[in-house]
Structure formats: structure tokens, C-alpha cells
Amino acid sequence: EVVALASSRSVGTEVSYGDKTLKVTNLDTYDFSDTDICLMSAGGAVSQKYSPKIGREGCVVIDNSSAWRYDADVPLIVPEVNADAIAQFSKKNIIANPNCSTAQLVVALKPLHDHAKIKRIVVSTYQSVSGAGKDGVDELFNQTRAVFVADPIES
């Protein structure tokens, strides 16, 4: 069973999941004691607040934010690269994953590293402003408009 969770302001809204429509349930009051896995992708602050509580209830949190990536008690996993590190998840019942550009990059680099030991790599990524949400998209729109009409650009 898949359950959609969000803040109280989103309770009752609907989201599509495959050919189904799910009603959003309140994250604050959800009982995770009978849940196996929580896929957390709600940002670092939300994950830091809820993931430890969810983990203590016996549910394994797989977190997509930056909140746990540097925590020594939380394994940072890319299954194709270091699946064996998952054994450490039980300290907090949280598993972190790197950001999207890192995950795909290390999948490609792992066999090269195994063959020729990479010592250093320099990477530049250019990611979509939509990753910052509606506020980021609106800011880019307003800045772009300002360029075209010679208004001051505000950050």
C-alpha cells in the first residue's frame, strides 16, 4: 500500500500514483509503526524533524534531502556503487542518497575507479531553477523580465 503524506495544509488534496489517485494524509499524525519504508523528499528541515521519529517507530526512511548526507550514523547509498554500506542503516533507520547529479555520476565512475583508481575529479553541474520550487521559478521570471525592460534585477 502506498500512502501520500504532507503537511496539514495539503490534507485531502489528491495526487496521482500510477493509475490510482491518492488522498494526502497528515504527516504530523501518521502512525509509522506498521510501515516498512518511508521515501522522504520534503527538504532538509522537514527530514531532520520527522526522520528520527519515523525511524524510532521501526520504519526505514530513505531520505532524498541533504539533511543526513554527512551524518556518520546514516549510510549514504547508491546501490550500484556501495550497496554493502546499507548494513549501517539500523543505527537510526535512515538511509541517505546523494543528489541527482551525483548519483548518476558515481554509477558511471565506479567501474572506471575500480579499473584505474580515480584520484581527483572536477565536476560542474547546472541544475534547473525549478528545484528551488515556485519561488525560485518566479524569481527567475522576474529577473528575466527585468533584463528585457532594463529594470533593476532583484535577488
Residue 36 clears pLDDT 90, i.e. is over it: yes
| CATH code (residue 48) | 3.40.50.720
Residue 125 clears pLDDT 90, i.e. is over it: no
Provide the pLDDT confidence category of residue 127 given band limits of 50, 70 and 90.
confident
119 plus 94 within the same structural domain:
no
Burial class (CB within 10 angstroms; exposed 0-12, middle 13-18, buried 19+) of 71: middle
Strands 25-26 and 37-40: unpaired
53 plus 111 within the same structural domain:
no
Residue 4 clears pLDDT 90, i.e. is over it: yes
155 falls within a domain: no
107 plus 85 within the same structural domain:
no
106 falls within a domain: yes
Apex 67 CA angle, 41 and 5, nearest 5? 25
pLDDT of residue 76: 97
Provide the pLDDT confidence category of residue 132 given band limits of 50, 70 and 90.
confident
Rounded to whole angstroms, the Cα distance separating 154 from 135 reads: 13
- 33 or 100: whose pLDDT is higher? 33
Domain range for 72 is 5-98
Provide the pLDDT confidence category of residue 126 given band limits of 50, 70 and 90.
confident
Residue 122 clears pLDDT 90, i.e. is over it: yes
Residue 53 clears pLDDT 90, i.e. is over it: yes
How many domains does the chain divide into? 2
66 contacts: CB under 8 Å, gap ≥ 6: 44, 99
107 plus 65 within the same structural domain:
no
57 falls within a domain: yes
61 forms beta bridges with: 38, 94
9 plus 64 within the same structural domain:
yes
